[in-house]
Structure 1
């Protein structure tokens, strides 16, 4: 299957990964969805500093990449939920690695205690 945003410049697998999870907001969206299905408002609350427009654009890209599934329920008012696809769940070890590295990096930035 070929996703909408699968074009690459270098053909490097790292480029492919970063094109899907790169940026400031996408890893935070992934992290929020790792624990399960979320409504838009829940995602917005879990990601401080996000704007509705940014969140919408990022979710659309993730959906186009095949890693997030958007489900619209035929209700009034309409209800929309987002969850990771099986392909999206396969990124969990990548995010866990980023999380662990971030902890180590933060420790390196802290001044030594006297």
Structure 2
């Protein structure tokens, strides 16, 4: 919840800024879009993000996990160990917002 505690503007907490801060990041929006439809393994996420480095993906996932938007599960019964990433309940609640922002962005691009 570091994001929720650290976002203040004009000496007050702005819920819009909290939301923007959570999804702001070079790859976060794309990661969230990938996870909206299914859980993915780290390597699947990495391969789906052309140009994203392993380090950057790890940093972005760590932020999303810290903010309780994504969680990871580790299955040590497999060889190699299977690590998957999923949206949390809070993360899933972002789906309508992300879709609305995508629709607005498409409209904006078509307008300008």
Alignment TM-score, normalising by the size of structure 1: 0.87
| Pairwise CA distance, 1:106 | 2.1
Decide which structure has greater helix share. Answer: 2
Structure number with larger C-alpha Rg: 1
* Structure 2 residue aligned with 1:104: 107
Match of 1:80 among 60, 83, 89: 83
Superposed displacement of residue 28, structure 1: 0.4
What is the distance in 1 between the residues matched to 2:52 and 2:22? Answer: 18
The 2-side partners of 1:108 and 1:51 are apart by 33
CA shift, 1:36, in A, is 1.1
Offset, 1:47: 1.7
* Unaligned runs of at least 5 residues, structure 1: 110-114
2: CA distance between counterparts of 1:36 and 1:24? Answer: 21
Higher mean alpha-carbon deviation, 80-89 vs 7-16, is at 7-16
- Structure 2 equivalent of residue 112 of structure 1: none
How do residues 1-114 of structure 1 correspond to structure 2 at under 5 angstroms?
3-7=1-5, 8-10=7-9, 11-74=13-76, 75-109=78-112
Structure 2 runs not aligned, ≥5 long: none
In 1: Cα distance, 2:59 partner to 2:74 partner: 17
Residue correspondences, number: 107
Could you list the per-position Cα deviations for residues 3-56 of structure 1 after superposition, in whole angstroms to 9, with x for gaps in the alignment?
Answer: 233222220111110111112311100000000100011111222221111011
CA offset digits 1:64-101 (Å, max 9, x no partner): 00010100111332211000001100001110011101
List structure 1 segments (4+ residues) > 3 angstroms apart after TM superposition: none
